[in-house]
Structure 1
Amino acid sequence: MRRSKAVVTGAVVAAVAVALAGCGTSAPSEGDSGTDSLLIYTSRAEPISEYVVEQFEAKYPEYAGKVEVLTMGAAEIPERVRAEKENPQASLWWGGTQQALSLGADDGLLEAWSDPSFKDQIDPMYRDADDRWFAEYQLPQVIVYNNEVLDADSAPQDWDDLIDPEWRDKIIIRDVAASGGMRSIWDAMILRESPDGSDPQPGYDYLTALDANTTTYAADPADLYLQLSRQSGVVSLWNLQDTLIQIEQNNMPFDFLIPSSGTPVLVDGLGIVADGPNTDGGKLFAEFLYDVELRSTLAEDYFQIPVTEIKAQPSWLADLDIVPLDVDWAIAAEHEAEWVDHWLNNIKNK
């Protein structure tokens, strides 16, 4: 197993990062071969990050044993990078929503990179206009259910079904504050009611009703999968990729539905940390992520929907019928912190 460390809470992340920055902790040191070690912050599922690092080190043996990955929630990565801004520790921010990456870029956390080889393969709508972040794949959000209790007919079919009293204490949700995907679902629910974001109250009313049906907020994805499999709750909201990994690779008793009225389709991407200790290594790893062979494998075996061309669409992707919700992600980025803060202080567990 690759060396991967899970970071659980934003508070711990920030506190540790500030302590490291304050103490002047050194960046990853240079190894015996003369190649600097490479520290990556990621929100990717560990099976994916472990596989990719193995393939990267095989292709670039000078990095064998020198790539360290810290796994955390997508919303926790910017907290850590921001806390370390005066003394960056990581070289690559790998995994995050368009909203988080855009805000991080505007805060000076990401370096402009004008000439990656994959740039022209990515639709301009899926990359930063100033080349500070690039989408890696698209991530639809789905309704997940325990298929030992429910089937495709009895499970909730759409967003409004989730707030029906029928589902009281039957829904489990991943802790929203730490999860970029969950934050994005919350953004979409608010913008569904107020497309310009000017009146979030109807969206807050929806989230209040959803909270009333939620039995618990899982601390992390592993906790979510465990509780859903044990039927502590029988319905959840989660991203398609990780859901398929749990179904196909881990034999979890799950199935999913794409909400009938449409679903938020996120852009999940990456960026080079500004003034990171091994920018060249970070760029080399990023270039590798867009390798056509790797992208094809990640689509076939790890259910990624790439934003660049691959050899052939896997059957699972060709069979999907996804209707994206019309979400203005720029408005979401502008208001997300405010909306999530309101939910934490006025709605969650109330």
Structure 2
Amino acid sequence: MRRAFAIVLLLTACGDGRTPLVVYSPHGRDLLRLVEESYETLRPGVDVRWLDMGSQEVYDRVRSERANPQADVWFGGPATILARAAREGLLAPYRPAWGDAVPPSHRDPEGRYFGLYRTPPILVFNQAAVTPEEAPRDWDDLLLPRWRGRVLIRDPLASGTMRTIFGFILARSVAETGSTEQGFEWLRRLDAQTKEYVHNPALLHQKMVRQEGLVTMWELTDILFQRQRGNPLGYHFPASGTPVISDSVALVEGARHGAEARAFIDWLGSRETQILTAERAFRLPARQDLPPEELPEWARQALAEMVEAEVDWQLMEEKGAEWMNLWDRTIRGRGGR
């Protein structure tokens, strides 16, 4: 009910003559406020209206609204989810001015979505209770007996980040053994370790800080924000490699304010905005033409430490929804049984 009320306000508020620009995004309030304020300063005739929700929720909403689109821009989410939306005709082709600076692996060949940021999943721990030496350093470390009942997981059904991590585990199983059996067994063992599947990232952070759980998997940007606020969350990049998410942007098919949406997408990926969001919102640019010396220290450190895993993204795109439904029916909350 509260979400429905928020959408009504999003679509009806503001009668000051500005052009509304409706943005659906999983990026969280910090980045969305920065983007809103910066863009409206540049273009005072535009009213940026954003709705913050998980990547899967963005997909579900855009899909449900396809006969009467409400959003203009889908800002953020793994390319695997946007690829599904593109196949279903939910996204309109638009090649932004910066499109060629993004490698082909981070953009749709038909120009329906483009990577804006590289978002690496990481292993997170409460450093007030766990030392860096004790903390998990690779995916399999989460299955050690010491972490039983101490793992918190963001609910994977609503989260593009968690769907990417679970999909990576299953795709890795297929690559190594020819089947998903080993991967599902890994997820079954993780379920036995898990204390709770948490509804949203804010709750996940709160519970980690309160030591309701000691370790989790999440993404780098959010954890850097938490550390900036003084919360005792440490992290390691998985030693064997992490599935770096191509965090993408797209023009919604049938957008009511298409011209402004295209200008907004051009601005998001511009050199100036990419550096702004790196400096103030811990976003690692996807475009490859930015010299490292122009990036902040945290970004240079991440690029030096991060091992990017080889991932069959096409397989994850094709099978991801099926895999998650099977996990939900047969593994979630069963304690490894």
Separation (CA, whole Å) in 1 of partners of 2:301 and 2:98: 27
Q: Does residue 325 in structure 1 map to residue 282 in structure 2?
A: no
Equivalences for residues 143-162 of structure 1 within 5 A: 143-162=123-142
Alignment check: 8 A CA contact 1:181 1:238 kept:
yes
Alignment size in residue pairs? 328
Equivalences for residues 55-74 of structure 1 within 5 A: 55-63=38-46, 66-74=47-55
Alignment check: 8 A CA contact 1:42 1:77 kept:
yes
User: TM-score w.r.t. structure 2 length?
Assistant: 0.92
Given the superposition, is the C-alpha separation of residues 278 and 255 from structure 1 closer, same or farther in structure 2, using an over 3 Å criterion? Answer: same
Q: CA deviation at 1:310?
A: 3.4
Residue-by-residue CA offset, 1:72-95 (whole Å, 9 max, x unaligned): 001110100000000000100111
Q: Does residue 316 in structure 1 map to residue 298 in structure 2?
A: yes
Q: CA deviation at 1:331?
A: 0.6
Alignment check: 8 A CA contact 2:90 2:253 kept:
yes
Separation (CA, whole Å) in 1 of partners of 2:306 and 2:13: 45
Q: Does residue 48 in structure 1 map to residue 34 in structure 2?
A: no
Q: Does residue 133 in structure 1 map to residue 117 in structure 2?
A: no
Separation (CA, whole Å) in 2 of partners of 1:130 and 1:266: 19
Match of 1:111 among 92, 106, 112: 92
Q: CA deviation at 1:276?
A: 1.3
Q: CA deviation at 1:330?
A: 0.8
2:161 matched to which residue of 1? 181
Q: Does residue 267 in structure 1 map to residue 249 in structure 2?
A: no
Separation (CA, whole Å) in 1 of partners of 2:176 and 2:86: 23
Given the superposition, is the C-alpha separation of residues 29 and 155 from structure 1 closer, same or farther in structure 2, using an over 3 Å criterion? Answer: closer
Alignment check: 8 A CA contact 1:262 1:322 kept:
yes
SS in 2 for 1:37: strand
Structure 1 letter corresponding to 2:255: G
Match of 1:227 among 207, 220, 223: 207
SS in 2 for 1:177: helix
Q: CA deviation at 1:318?
A: 1.7
Equivalences for residues 59-98 of structure 1 within 5 A: 59-63=42-46, 66-98=47-79
SS in 1 for 2:62: helix
1:292 matched to which residue of 2? 271
Given the superposition, is the C-alpha separation of residues 112 and 28 from structure 1 closer, same or farther in structure 2, using an over 3 Å criterion? Answer: farther
Q: Does residue 256 in structure 1 map to residue 235 in structure 2?
A: yes
Alignment check: 8 A CA contact 2:19 2:45 kept:
no
SS in 2 for 1:261: coil
Given the superposition, is the C-alpha separation of residues 197 and 292 from structure 1 closer, same or farther in structure 2, using an over 3 Å criterion? Answer: farther
Identical amino acids, percent of aligned pairs: 33
SS in 1 for 2:272: helix
Separation (CA, whole Å) in 1 of partners of 2:223 and 2:11: 35
Residue-by-residue CA offset, 1:216-272 (whole Å, 9 max, x unaligned): 011100000000000000000000111111111x21110101111111111000100
Structure 1 letter corresponding to 2:295: Q
The runs of 5 or more residues in structure 2 that have no matched partner are: none
Separation (CA, whole Å) in 2 of partners of 1:120 and 1:265: 20
The runs of 5 or more residues in structure 1 that have no matched partner are: 1-5, 21-25
Structure 2 letter corresponding to 1:327: V
Separation (CA, whole Å) in 2 of partners of 1:192 and 1:152: 27
